[in-house]
Structure 1
Amino acid sequence: MAKKIDPAELPVEQKLKNLYQLQTTLSEIDKIKTLRGELPLEVQDLEDEVEGLKTRINKQEEDVETLTADIAAKHEKIKTAQEAIARYKQQLDAVKNNREFDMLNKEIEFQELEVQLQEKKINEAKKTIEERRASIESSTAIINERTEDLTAKRAELEDIVTETKAEEEKLREKSKSLELLIEPRLLGAFKRIRKNSRNGLGIVYVQRDACGGCFNKIPPQRQLDIRMHKKVIVCEYCGRILVDPELAGVKIEKPVEEKPKRRRAASSATSARRTTRKAAEEAAVPEAEA
């Protein structure tokens, strides 16, 4: 049986290779998520909105039931007050003195005010019930509209998930296998860097003497250390782990050096010859005249 290798005992070069392979796999998963776009969030928002509207409708329906019960109770109070008014008015015919007469009139007046108060509360309750029912109707219409949108969004999301599910599961299995080849401390640091980076890159290769994540220049000595693979080196600006392109399996084309232009030199030599010839001709003119 083969001995299981401890990831911590692997050479730095192999650690960086495994880490870069993991980054490549996770980037592929990120591309699949990008393909889905904002659909998962849109579906979640619509579900939350529909659920919130349903909760609101249930609360308003409970309010309507409570108000209806209150109206019935207030009608009972009005009935009781009216019965008391009728009774007090009958007692007025049998009063023996002004004191009893005044007391009965006050009771009648109090019960009449009670009837008016209860009628006012009933009207207010009826108005509130109308508002609640109008709100329920409006919320129901919105729920129907949002439900149609939600059904369409879910169908669209399911289609995309169905197309990419097998590939995503395969990539996730591969990433889990690669994580087992990386020591926990380094893996934890990589995940932390990746989480804090905007593009999800925790390890990048050097491009044109600069960090492939933040594109800040890397000093020559530091580039040499990166190519030596003796230790894990991070960018001093963005904190991403750095590897050289060769280790990452990336071929960088070297810029073609431009040949020095000779046309200008040739034209200068031609101009010099013309100047010399002209000077010689001018020198020969006086001799001919003499």
Structure 2
Amino acid sequence: MQKIIENLVALQTVDTKLYEIEMLRGDLPKQVESLKAELSELQEEIDSDKSSVKTFQSERSGLENEQALNSEKLTKYQDQLYKATSNREYEATSSQIEFCEQETNRIKTRMTEIDLKVMELEEGLKPKEEKLSALQANFKERENELNQKVEETSKEEADLKNKRAAIVPLIRKDIVNKYERIRSAKNGLAVAPIIRDCCGGCFNQVPPQIIIELRKRDAIRTCEFCGRIMYYEKTEEAVAQG
């Protein structure tokens, strides 16, 4: 049991250092991911708006060609109207002119609608692109900051993870599971030393009988107040004897 307790202490030491590395990086990983998602969403929105502008411009170009052909027809029918030799021919030509004029109105109305939509989209694109530029700068800054911190700690982190992987198999699975549950619930600290007869996790007084048992290191005892696994350090014993 003494060896298990020593391994638990070693595991906690490693996890504490890993936690410190995580705290050093802070919420930068979350910030970077959040900015990345926001950038992607905004870029998609800008691309969609630009695609809509191109679609409208293509439609407008088609309408201009249609209007040019319609104008030619209108001119032709107007010339024919003056040359009509019968009421029937006059009425038929007038009908064609009326249709061409209706088409002109339809085309002009649609072109006006398109112009307004394109104007609205282009006016909306400017602030979106400005926001995108600002987001890209912020993202780059945060990403560089994170990369620098990762670079500074990556070797230490890798070494610690290797140590952790070597320690965990040395401890019974049920004890490891208990350790992980406590660590998850207690901000990363599952194993605490006795400090001046108090739990080093919550600093509540530990009963003398429990301290005697902890000195023997023949059983795993948890703090009755915070639930952390407690252990008695040799340095603490030397202090007590002194």
Q: Look up the match of 1:179.
A: 168
Structure 1 segment 60-71 matched on structure 2, within 5 A? 60-71=49-60
Q: Which residues of structure 2 form unaligned runs of 5+?
A: none
Structure-2 separation of matches of 1:78 and 1:45: 49
Counterpart AA for 2:179: F
* Native 8 Å contact 1:82 1:111 kept in 2: no
Match of 1:232 among 214, 217, 220: 220
Distance 1:57 1:153, change over 3 A: farther
Structure-2 separation of matches of 1:144 and 1:227: 57
TM-score normalised per structure 2: 0.74
Structure-2 separation of matches of 1:218 and 1:227: 13
Match of 2:126 among 123, 134, 147: 134
Once the 2 structures are TM-superposed, how far is the Cα of residue 217 of structure 1 from its aligned partner?
Answer: 4.4
| Residue 96 in structure 1 maps to residue 87 in structure 2 | yes
* Native 8 Å contact 1:203 1:242 kept in 2: yes
SS at match of 1:146: helix
Q: CA RMSD in A?
A: 3.7
Structure-2 separation of matches of 1:131 and 1:87: 41
Structure 1 segment 200-239 matched on structure 2, within 5 A? 200-239=188-227
* Native 8 Å contact 2:192 2:228 kept in 1: yes
Q: Look up the match of 2:178.
A: 189
Greater helix fraction, Structure 1 or Structure 2: 2
Counterpart AA for 1:181: L
Once the 2 structures are TM-superposed, how far is the Cα of residue 190 of structure 1 from its aligned partner?
Answer: 1.2
Identity among equivalent positions (%) equals 25
Counterpart AA for 1:96: N
Q: Which residues of structure 1 form unaligned runs of 5+?
A: 1-11, 257-290
| Residue 124 in structure 1 maps to residue 116 in structure 2 | yes
Distance 1:241 1:91, change over 3 A: farther
Q: Look up the match of 1:58.
A: 47
**The structure with more radius of gyration:** 1
User: Between Structure 1 and Structure 2, how many residues are aligned?
Assistant: 239
Q: Which moved more, 1:91-100 or 1:23-32?
A: 91-100
Once the 2 structures are TM-superposed, how far is the Cα of residue 85 of structure 1 from its aligned partner?
Answer: 3.7
Structure-2 separation of matches of 1:250 and 1:66: 78
Once the 2 structures are TM-superposed, how far is the Cα of residue 127 of structure 1 from its aligned partner?
Answer: 0.7
Structure-1 separation of matches of 2:181 and 2:80: 89
* Native 8 Å contact 1:216 1:237 kept in 2: yes
Counterpart AA for 2:176: L
Structure 1 segment 1-290 matched on structure 2, within 5 A? 12-90=1-79, 92-93=81-82, 94=84, 96=87, 103=95, 106-131=98-123, 133-135=125-127, 137-139=129-131, 141-142=133-134, 145-146=137-138, 149-150=141-142, 152-153=144-145, 157-158=147-148, 160-198=149-187, 200-246=188-234, 250=236, 253-254=239-240
SS at match of 1:213: coil
* Native 8 Å contact 2:81 2:94 kept in 1: no
* Native 8 Å contact 1:47 1:150 kept in 2: no
* Native 8 Å contact 1:77 1:118 kept in 2: no
* Native 8 Å contact 1:75 1:118 kept in 2: no
Distance 1:240 1:107, change over 3 A: same
Once the 2 structures are TM-superposed, how far is the Cα of residue 20 of structure 1 from its aligned partner?
Answer: 0.9
> Deviations 1:218-268 (Å, cap 9, x if unpaired)?
45555555445443233344332222344xx545745x9xxxxxxxxxxxx
Once the 2 structures are TM-superposed, how far is the Cα of residue 36 of structure 1 from its aligned partner?
Answer: 3.7
SS at match of 1:180: helix
Structure-1 separation of matches of 2:77 and 2:182: 87
Counterpart AA for 1:206: I
